[in-house]
Structure 1
Amino acid sequence: MLPFSTESPAPTPSQSPTPMDAGEAVGHTWDWLTGPGLKIAIIVVVGMLVLLVVQRLIKSVTEHIASGDSFLQRGIVRPLGTEVAGALRKANPVAAARRTQRARTIGSVLRSTAAIVIGTIVVFLALDQIGVNLAPFIASAGIVGVALGFGAQSLVKDFLTGLFMLLEDQYGVGDVVDVGPASGTVESVGLRVTKIRDADGVLWYVPNGSVLRVGNKTQGWANAVVEVKVDYFVDLDQVQDLLGRAAAEVATNDELKAVMEGNATVNAAEDLAADAVTMRLVQRTVPAQQWKVSRALREAVRRQLADAGIPLAGQRDALTAYQETLKAREDDADQS
């Protein structure tokens, strides 16, 4: 046998990867551009076009609602529709203002929501084309959503409550409301906060989520209510007749007649006290006009009662002194 050789065998050269030639790199790039790259480009373009169409559609509908234009304002009947819409806006400017703000606020929310939803879908579809596993992203989004839900409960509550208030038209700009924390005229309705100006001129910022109940005094129709406390021993039938005359007198005013609905109702003996009997005069009006009509009714009631010599509660002596003064002035005028 031959003796073992102490020399180690010569090492064989290692096989090194051959570099990709330029032609093959261009081919791979071209394959990617014509495959996933083209699909991503199509997804982005289609997403942008869909978002543009949706936002234009939302803006068109909300602006149509905000302006109060009717479907008559199209085609050959457009002049007639324009006259009708202008008359409606002039007749009820408060309703026009609240409709405008409600429509534009909802339109802004819908446009933002559409941008977020469509943008998210486009991003996920693009990531899927480049081979990214979407499961971790979806799981992370769920966890983040839960965390935000717990951390911003009041904010989310304000936004959701504000959205439903706008959709249900619970109140709007120009309405006189009582929302518990504040009462007054609504100056602005947002998704998170409602601004209310009270009778003292204080501007209240009320979070929508804190509103548990809403009393709207200027929605649909209203009542102008005048309560009159007359002397205990007056003729109630006569007083009832005088209150009806006062309402008829106010109805002769062209400006007030336009906002009064139906005939006034006079309720006798609504309340009895030791020195007074309460009579109630009720006149139905259009929204937000009940205070003007009430003031006019009080003035007319005062004139009717004074001319008839019927005193208010506790004012019999004052009425007698007033009548004596008037008689003395008339006597002096006759003598002169």
Structure 2
Amino acid sequence: MFTSTDVKTACGADVLCKQVFDWTGLQWLANGSYVIIIKPVRVIGIILVAMLIRWLLHRAITRLASTSSRASMPALLKPLKEKVTVTAEEGTFIPERRRQRAEAIGSVLRSFVSALIFTMAALLVMGELGFNLAPLLASAGIVGVALGFGAQSLVKDLIAGLFMLLEDQYGVGDTVDLGEATGVVESVGLRITTVRDARGVLWYIRNGEIVRVGNKSQGWAMVVIDIPIGFVNSEEAAAVLKAAAETVAHDPEHETGFLEPPDVVGVEQLTVDGAVIRTIAKTTADGQVSIQRDLRRALTESLESSGLSERIAASRLPRSAVPPAWLGGTDNTTPPSAGGTV
């Protein structure tokens, strides 16, 4: 056994060394108590604290994402741009889309939080193990700058993809116009968006290259149909078209597709062949195509059944009666030669 003088000589002012020597009576264990006991405890503590923080943040993000499918949406998950207030009918189509977007944003946030926390924990553990972090951090900074210059397009794509999710520009299943490609979105990622067009071609589009987005599936859609009526009475034609549009609106097949009753707004323009009457209808985005097709068919058939089609055809001016362009009309026939008669 060591005497009190030996303990003071071996441990000096180290309280832990003295305590370990008092417990065990082993000088080598007392002298190495800091390396054998304190450092492993600190390393384990850093790892446990990092895992706890990660678990708490993941739980908070998951809760935040789950509340997005409810009526009240958290401010963090609201689009950055101010949305127009939607009606009750339109609101029934939003929760599923909101849920998908919230899950995508939540997945990105969880991955980012995990990478950040574990990186910081790894640096703290390396510091506890005696590594000199200054050269490592300097090297990491140089590598980061080099990657930043070499991968500018990648960073641009990732940032554009993140803002696309936050702003809810489009989602899987939406019909979009992205400039070169127009079709249905099949997948959305932080770097790449895939769109399949009407011919079945699958387009891979980098998010950083998308400068404009036309979303044909978001919220609601508008059906606009212009019907030429010649020179017949516009009020009579509007009444016939309105009755046909209301018939389509009350059809059980399309009853849920109309957000507002269809309306015949009246004469939209005048041409050399007569007036053109416009019919509009506010519909769901999914039902726009089928409603537009059936509404166009019903309007055409209503003109046929009412006898207006024959009157429209008869009211149109024959092409020979249209003044040529060189006399101020719309006929593009070549004017006669200088020696002829007009």
Aligned counterparts of 1:209 and 1:98: Cα–Cα separation in 2: 23
Provide closer, same or farther for how the CA distance between residues 204 and 135 of structure 1 changes in structure 2, counting only shifts above 3 A.
same
Aligned counterparts of 1:153 and 1:278: Cα–Cα separation in 2: 52
Residue in 2 aligned with 1:153?
152
Trace 1:88-237 onto structure 2 (pairs within 5 A): 92=93, 95=94, 98-230=97-229, 232-237=230-235
One-letter amino acid of the counterpart of residue 34, structure 1: I
- The percent of aligned pairs where both chains have the same amino acid is 42
One-letter amino acid of the counterpart of residue 99, structure 1: R
- Normalised to the residue count of structure 2, the TM-score between the two structures is 0.72
Residue in 1 aligned with 2:46?
43
Root-mean-square deviation over aligned CA pairs? 2.8
Residue in 1 aligned with 2:241?
243
Q: How far apart are residue 102 of structure 1 and its match? A: 2.1
Contact 1:224/1:284 (<8 A) preserved? yes
Q: How far apart are residue 282 of structure 1 and its match? A: 0.4
Aligned counterparts of 2:314 and 2:139: Cα–Cα separation in 1: 81
Contact 2:70/2:95 (<8 A) preserved? no
Structure 2 counterpart of 1:253, from 251, 254, 259 = 251
Trace 1:249-288 onto structure 2 (pairs within 5 A): 249-288=247-286
Structure 1 counterpart of 2:305, from 307, 312, 324 = 307
Aligned counterparts of 1:312 and 1:147: Cα–Cα separation in 2: 75
Aligned counterparts of 1:37 and 1:126: Cα–Cα separation in 2: 10
Q: Secondary structure at the match of 1:262?
A: coil
Contact 2:43/2:125 (<8 A) preserved? yes
Q: How far apart are residue 208 of structure 1 and its match? A: 0.8
Contact 1:162/1:191 (<8 A) preserved? yes
Residue in 1 aligned with 2:295?
297
Q: Over residues 41-90 of structure 1, what are the superposed CA-to-partner deviations in whole Å (9 max), with x where a residue is unaligned? A: 2111211222233334434543564xx4679xxxxxxxxxxxxxxxx9xx
Gaps of 5+ in 2: 1-25, 73-88, 316-342
Aligned counterparts of 1:200 and 1:276: Cα–Cα separation in 2: 37
Q: Over residues 125-169 of structure 1, what are the superposed CA-to-partner deviations in whole Å (9 max), with x where a residue is unaligned? A: 122223433222222222111111111111111111111111111
Contact 1:98/1:174 (<8 A) preserved? no
Aligned counterparts of 2:250 and 2:100: Cα–Cα separation in 1: 36
Task: Please tell me whether Structure 1 or Structure 2 has the larger radius of gyration of its CA atoms.
Answer: 1
Confirm whether residue 28 of structure 1 aligns to residue 31 of structure 2.
yes
Aligned counterparts of 1:126 and 1:156: Cα–Cα separation in 2: 29
Contact 2:231/2:312 (<8 A) preserved? no
Gaps of 5+ in 1: 1-22, 72-87, 318-336
Contact 1:175/1:288 (<8 A) preserved? no
Q: How far apart are residue 40 of structure 1 and its match? A: 1.6
> How many residues of Structure 1 are paired with residues of Structure 2 in the alignment?
275
